[in-house]
Amino acid sequence: MAVSFTSPIKPIIFFSPNNNQNPNFLSSSFRCSFSLKTHLPVEPEPVFSSVKSFAPATVANLGPGFDILGVAVDGIGDFVSLSLDPSVHPGELSIASISPASKLSKNPLFNCAGIAALAVMKMLGIRSVGLSLSLEKGLPLGSGLGSSAASAAAAAVAVNELFGGKLSQKDLVLAGLESESKVSGYHADNIAPAIMGGFVLIRSYDPLSLKRLAFPENKELVFVLVSPEFEAPTKKMRAALPAEITMAHHVWNSSQAAALVAAVLEGEVEGLGRALSSDRIVEPKRAPLIPGMEGVKKVAIEAGAFGCTISGAGPTAVAVTDGEERGREIGERMVEAFWKEGGLRAVAMVQRLDRVGARLVGSIPR
67: left (phi over 0), alpha (psi -120 to 50) or beta: left
| Predicted local confidence at residue 185, as pLDDT | 78
Domain boundaries, the chain: 2-212+355-365, 222-352
Q: What CATH code is assigned to 2-212+355-365?
A: 3.30.230.10
Same fold, 2-212+355-365 and 222-352: no
Instruction: Give percent of the chain above pLDDT 70.
Output: 90
Q: Which fold has domain 222-352?
A: Alpha-Beta Plaits (3.30.70)
Query: pLDDT for 206-249, tens place per residue?
Result: 999 999 999 999 999 999 999 999 987 777 888 889 999 999 99
Instruction: Give percent of the chain above pLDDT 90.
Output: 81
Integer-rounded Cα Rg, in Å, for the chain is 20
| Predicted local confidence at residue 237, as pLDDT | 86
Catalytic residue positions?
180, 234
Query: pLDDT for 96-132, tens place per residue?
Result: 999 997 889 999 999 999 999 999 999 999 999 999 9
Which has more pLDDT, 50 or 1?
Answer: 50
| Predicted local confidence at residue 20, as pLDDT | 36
Runs of H (alpha helix) within 56-184: 112-124, 147-162, 169-183
Query: pLDDT for 249-297, tens place per residue?
Result: 999 999 999 999 999 999 999 999 999 999 999 999 999 999 999 999 9
Closest among 34, 51, 70, 26 to 357, alpha carbons compared: 70
Instruction: With a cut of 80, say whether residue 349 has pLDDT above it.
Output: yes
Q: How far apart are CA 314 and CA 311, in angstroms?
A: 5
Give CA separation, 42 vs 118, 123, 124, in Å: 18, 11, 8
Runs of H (alpha helix) within 67-146: 112-124
Q: How far apart are CA 317 and CA 273, in angstroms?
A: 13
Instruction: With a cut of 50, say whether residue 2 has pLDDT above it.
Output: no
Runs of H (alpha helix) within 17-111: none
